Homo-oligomer: A and B are copies of this chain.
């Protein structure tokens, strides 16, 4: 005879309480704890004990209650300034103690206008916080070996703690080979498969988490949006944003669905989500009816569209139809000024963390 009776969902008890969870968030050390509010991933890990209690009963409700017309615009620019000022302080401290500063090398292949803008912003941000930066520009038609040689040089350079290859690369270059050549300890973009694997695997900690996903999470945390137990939908599954964002949200105990171009009726899925992170690169993809009233919307899209009224002749446009979304969401990021500055701040953070690790400085 079977001694264990047929068991249902309601017969299982999760033994953890939110208090325990919360103390875990704060009690463990973090290389970044003076800078970021995001905890180390491994500190978030909890045993998956299937529960009788509907999770809603023991997970605190989403902070923001939606009483219409109070949509908060999540100011990534402001939040990133606060983070950058903490980074600057730490860099100064490092300089005083060791006479050294973190160093970031950026490799830019080709003449893509958007890539040039991104690189320029990163360099300026480094300068501002006292991180040394070096840019190597290569022509669009350079050989793979040329890129590899530059990477090898930076891999060996002890004054460089982070190396970044600005993506996308021209078609003829093998992105996989180029990224694999990066020394793991300097992979501040976090795109190396070992870092991605360790981001995915429960119980492990990547050396670096990709900057945009980390920026999204930091923005959510600093804005008081709970992630645990919430339904999150990530729109887009790129290796640099969608995929790692979905993995990171899952490490934070969201229930994650990834939407991509093969998804049928995506709006039926997104309109159930508490948190939407859109990284499709399609202007106005996310309309008002895609959004649940009171949801939090993070717009990662930055598509350059021509605009003769702008200085550069173009402007960056998000995935979300802002005018419609702002009537429905409880919180939303602007484009520009939302995720973009957070991404840059996370890159500075990763470079600092790398320098601290390599130089054994705390």
- Partner of A307 from B1, B228, B253, B260 at Cβ < 8 Å: B1
Interface residues on chain A, number (Cβ under 8 Å): 72
Residues of B with C-beta under 8 A to A200: 196-197, 200, 243, 247
8 pairs of A and B residues whose beta carbons are closest in the complex: A193-B197, A197-B197, A196-B197, A3-B306, A257-B257, A4-B305, A255-B263, A253-B262
Residues of B with C-beta under 8 A to A261: 14, 48-51, 55
Bound together, the chains give a CA A59 to CA B247 distance in angstroms of: 27
Q: Can you pick out 7 interface pairs between chain A and chain B where the beta carbons lie within 8 Å of each other?
A: A1-B308, A3-B306, A48-B261, A54-B264, A195-B197, A229-B264, A253-B262
Bound together, the chains give a CA A55 to CA B265 distance in angstroms of: 8
**Given the contacts A55-B262, A255-B258, A262-B253, A12 and B282 also touching, CB distance less than 8 Å:** yes
Task: Tell me if A100 counts as interface (CB < 8 A to partner B).
Answer: no
- Partner of A264 from B55, B262, B317 at Cβ < 8 Å: B55
In chain A, positions 294-310 with a C-beta closer than 8 Å to chain B are 303, 305-309
In chain A, positions 50-72 with a C-beta closer than 8 Å to chain B are 50-51, 54-56, 59
Residues of B with C-beta under 8 A to A6: 283-284, 321
